[in-house]
Amino acid sequence: MNQWEVVIGIETHAQLATVSKIFSGASTAFGAEPNTQASAVDLALPGVLPVLNKKAVECAIRFGLAIGAEVAQKSVFARKNYFYPDLPKGYQISQMDLPVVVGGDITLQVGQGDKAYEKVVRLTRAHLEEDAGKSLHEDFHGKSGIDLNRAGTPLLEIVSEPDMRSSDEAVAYAKSLHALVRWIGICDGNMQEGSFRCDANVSVRPKGQAEYGTRREIKNLNSFRFLKEAIDFEVQWQINEIEEGRRIQQATVLFDPENGETRMMRSKEDAHDYRYFPDPDLLPLIISREWIDEVREDMWELPNDRKLRFQSDFGLSSYDASLLNINFDIGNYFEGAVLAALANGERIEPEPAKFAANWVINEVLAKMNQEGEGHPTWKFGVSAETLGCLLRRLREGVIGAKTAKELFAEFWEEARANNYASHGGYPEKIDELIESRGLKQISDTGAIESLVDEVLAANPANVAEFKAGKEKAFNALVGQVMKAAKGKANPQQVNDLLKQKLEG
Amino acid sequence: MSLTLEQVKRIAHLARIETSDAEALTTQGHLNGIFQLIEQMQAVDTSGVEPMAHAQDVSQRLREDAVTESDRRAAYQAVAPEVEVGLYLVPKVIE
């Protein structure tokens, strides 16, 4: 596969977080009885006219500002014409020549650890449009059932440039975009309910070739896993086709998660003649500079700004700062834990912040990942405040790292058993348990010294080995002392004392 | 620019309009007449003129995001040809 280069562009439909539809006053709440939220406008009854929802436009402005794009002061709605029973008007109101958002880019973190790298994906545009209804193909005496509750739900279609070169980059892009739309509060990101769905345009070309290969579009991928599986399958399929001497035909395909394959839905010839023209029912959308400024004032810190702040204020690496910014909640959690970890009057310094960062990345994120990604919202089993207090006791040397990890795991398990209805543990509980279970670390030098003496006396063989140059024997002795202290001795102190005694 | 008979039939198909060969031929004549008119207009130099998206020089009015419609399914479905469990039934569509 070395001589082939993969080219991927992604179109995403993000359902905007409004309470009413884009052109009517019907509710957008999910899960209502069929057709109870389909008004005359959504049903396309004769004589109705669309009136644009201000909040939907505001969401588009927010998005434009968040990706550093140009928010068009003038944009135009167009009719995209096609026939399907879940589209009663016979056209979808969308935007074509003059979209509301033009340009912009998103910075992604791809891969993990040493192999991680940053990548900038450019965006072509984002435009406002309405969703269609739903067709239910279960058998209604040989007919299809139509539910128009979703018809007219506001969508922001976000189109990327074909900048991605692997399925991993495509997934990283989708994840970053998903985090961003939730971060700025324009979309709930619920993929199970279809609030965030991706279409991937995939093509391959020989490495070094300037022009793109013929692309096929994989429609409606509603999970990150499917996105990756579908692209991987499609890429391999296209390479096989070309290597066997066939040409790729431009087409729209569907991904079947059951067997992991993509299959053709329609060839492009017929389907893509949408005969767009400006919708005479809607006037041009004018967005004033004042409105854009107002929206900007109202927005909180953006992912990349916060990432840079974590690097400069807390001395975190770019990679760690990215991990702590994979979504809005994680970063807030981290900052909450840092504040709670500080002793009274202590200022935020890189040291406690780095300490908290390691804990959030290695313990909290690890636990959350175990629960499986793609949860609509990740759940924190332990509150930031409780974690902060735990870290504070750890930094003060009241408890050791092992005890801290055990308490943390215990609290988390408590929340998990409770299906994350509430956090496990609470700040005061840490001191209570330290007291009642006698978890306090032994840091009294005298007490540790006597344990060290006991162990040295009881293990002459190890002592002799160490003196003969075997470094491993030293670790065995440390282990013995820790065991004698029931794990509560400060390991650094044990190390120092042992070394002192053996070498002195 | 003028349209071929083939193109006229394709446009009719996309719009789901059934046309006989004779109708298609008549329509071709009409449409090409319109194209001639457009060609005449294209002779005008419009460089530097902003494209017009709407005949009226006013901008789109916006409404506040609020639910103002109540459920009127029963009334709407009373005039539908066929409904079941709240769904509109239509001839089977399969992708």
Determine the pLDDT at residue A181.
Answer: 96
Tell whether B58 is within 8 A of chain A (Cβ): yes
Interface ipTM: 0.85
Determine the pLDDT at residue A266.
Answer: 65
- Kindly determine whether residue A55 and residue B69, on different chains, have CB atoms separated by under 8 Å: no
Determine the pLDDT at residue A216.
Answer: 95
Closest chain A CA to residue B85? A34
Spatial CB neighbours of A138, under 8 Å, sequence gap ≥ 6: A145
Determine the pLDDT at residue A354.
Answer: 87
Q: How confident is the model at residue A503 (pLDDT cuts 50, 70, 90)?
A: confident
Tell whether B50 is within 8 A of chain A (Cβ): no
**Cα(A499)–Cα(A493) distance, rounded to whole angstroms?**
10
**Cα(A353)–Cα(A197) distance, rounded to whole angstroms?**
36
Identify the H or E element spanning A102: strand A101-102
Of B68, B76, B86, the CB nearest to A33: B86
Taking one residue from A and the other from B, the number of pairs with CB-CB distance under 8 angstroms is 126
Residue A83 has pLDDT above 60, yes or no: yes
All residues of chain B having their beta carbon less than 8 Å from the beta carbon of residue A135 are 93
Q: What tokens were used for A504?
A: 């002195």
Strands of A65-206, DSSP E: 70-71, 74-75, 77-81, 91-95, 101-102, 105-110, 117-130, 134-140, 143-147, 154-160, 196-206
Per-residue model confidence as pLDDT tens digits over A132-172 = 999 987 778 889 999 999 999 999 999 999 999 999 999 99
Best mutation site among B56, B59, B60 for testing chain A: the one with the most A CBs within 10 Å?
B60
**Cα(A330)–Cα(A471) distance, rounded to whole angstroms?**
42
Which residue, chain included where needed, has tokens 């269609």?
A132
Higher local confidence (pLDDT), A10 or A111: A10
Q: What is the mean pLDDT of residues B30-37?
A: 93
- Kindly determine whether residue A273 and residue B14, on different chains, have CB atoms separated by under 8 Å: yes
Q: What are the distances in angstroms from CA A329 to CA A48, A127, A197, A303, A334?
A: 42, 27, 22, 11, 9
Q: What is the mean pLDDT of residues A477-497?
A: 83
Count Cβ atoms below 10 Å from residue A432 Cβ, excluding itself.
11
pTM for the full predicted model: 0.81
Q: Is residue B22 exposed (0-12), middle (13-18) or buried (19+ Cβ within 10 Å)?
A: exposed
Sequence length of chain A is 504
Q: How far is CA A158 from the centre of its chain?
A: 17
Of A19, A81, A146, the CB nearest to B67: A19
Closest chain B CA to residue A285? B60
Q: What is the mean pLDDT of residues A313-340?
A: 89
Rg (CA), chain A: 29
Of A45, A266, A283, the CB nearest to B54: A283
Closest chain A CA to residue B60? A283
Per-residue model confidence as pLDDT tens digits over A405-429 = 999 999 999 988 888 888 988 999 9
How close B87 gets to chain A, by Cα (Å)?
Answer: 5
Per-residue model confidence as pLDDT tens digits over A218-276 = 999 999 999 999 999 999 999 999 999 999 999 899 999 888 899 887 655 555 688 89
Determine the pLDDT at residue B95.
Answer: 52
For chain B positions 2-41, those within 8 Å of chain A (CB to CB) are 14-16
Determine the pLDDT at residue A447.
Answer: 82
Domain residue spans of chain A: 4-294, 301-436, 445-503
Best mutation site among B54, B65, B77, B94 for testing chain A: the one with the most A CBs within 10 Å?
B65
Per-residue model confidence as pLDDT tens digits over A96-116 = 999 999 999 999 989 877 888
Determine the pLDDT at residue A375.
Answer: 53
Count Cβ atoms below 10 Å from residue A159 Cβ, excluding itself.
17
Q: Is residue A264 exposed (0-12), middle (13-18) or buried (19+ Cβ within 10 Å)?
A: exposed
Determine the pLDDT at residue A191.
Answer: 92
Determine the pLDDT at residue A270.
Answer: 56
Count Cβ atoms below 10 Å from residue A207 Cβ, excluding itself.
9
Per-residue model confidence as pLDDT tens digits over A373-400 = 545 456 888 999 999 999 999 888 888 8
Closest chain B CA to residue A85? B90
Determine the pLDDT at residue A271.
Answer: 54
Determine the pLDDT at residue A56.
Answer: 98
- Kindly determine whether residue A266 and residue B95, on different chains, have CB atoms separated by under 8 Å: yes
Best mutation site among B7, B8, B58, B69 for testing chain A: the one with the most A CBs within 10 Å?
B69
The mean pLDDT of chain A is 90
All residues of chain A having their beta carbon less than 8 Å from the beta carbon of residue B68 are 20, 25
- Kindly determine whether residue A55 and residue B65, on different chains, have CB atoms separated by under 8 Å: yes
Residue A37 has pLDDT above 80, yes or no: yes
Beta-bridge partners for A102? A70, A125
Identify the H or E element spanning A321: helix A318-323
All residues of chain A having their beta carbon less than 8 Å from the beta carbon of residue B67 are 19-20, 25-27
Best mutation site among B18, B59, B87, B94 for testing chain A: the one with the most A CBs within 10 Å?
B87
Q: What is the mean pLDDT of residues A27-45?
A: 96
Identify the H or E element spanning A129: strand A117-130
Q: What is the mean pLDDT of residues A445-469?
A: 86
Spatial CB neighbours of A388, under 8 Å, sequence gap ≥ 6: A336, A337, A338, A339, A340, A341, A342, A356, A427
All residues of chain B having their beta carbon less than 8 Å from the beta carbon of residue A56 are 65
Percent over 90 (pLDDT), chain A: 59
* Three-class SS state of A31: coil
Dihedral, CA of residue A269, residue A270, residue A271 and residue A274, to nearest 10: 100
Residue A487 has pLDDT above 80, yes or no: no
All residues of chain B having their beta carbon less than 8 Å from the beta carbon of residue A286 are 59-60
Of A81, A135, A283, the CB nearest to B56: A283
Of 1.50.10.10, 1.10.10.410, 3.30.420.40, 3.30.43.10, which CATH number belongs to A445-503?
1.10.10.410
Are A234 and A50 spatial neighbours (Cβ–Cβ below 8 Å)?
A: no
A469, amino acid identity: G
Q: What does the DSSP 8-state code read for residue B46?
A: -
∠ CA A197-A198-A202, rounded to 5°: 165
Best mutation site among A30, A35, A146, A265 for testing chain B: the one with the most B CBs within 10 Å?
A35
Q: Which of A195-209, A485-499, B69-83 has the lowest mean pLDDT?
A: A485-499
For chain B positions 70-89, those within 8 Å of chain A (CB to CB) are 71-73, 76-77, 82, 84-89
β-pairing, A196-206 vs A216-221, is antiparallel
* Three-class SS state of A115: helix
All residues of chain B having their beta carbon less than 8 Å from the beta carbon of residue A272 are none
A62: nearest Cα among A54, A71, A74: A71
* Three-class SS state of A34: coil
Count Cβ atoms below 10 Å from residue A460 Cβ, excluding itself.
9
Percent over 70 (pLDDT), chain A: 96
Q: What is the mean pLDDT of residues A75-97?
A: 94
Closest chain A CA to residue B67? A25
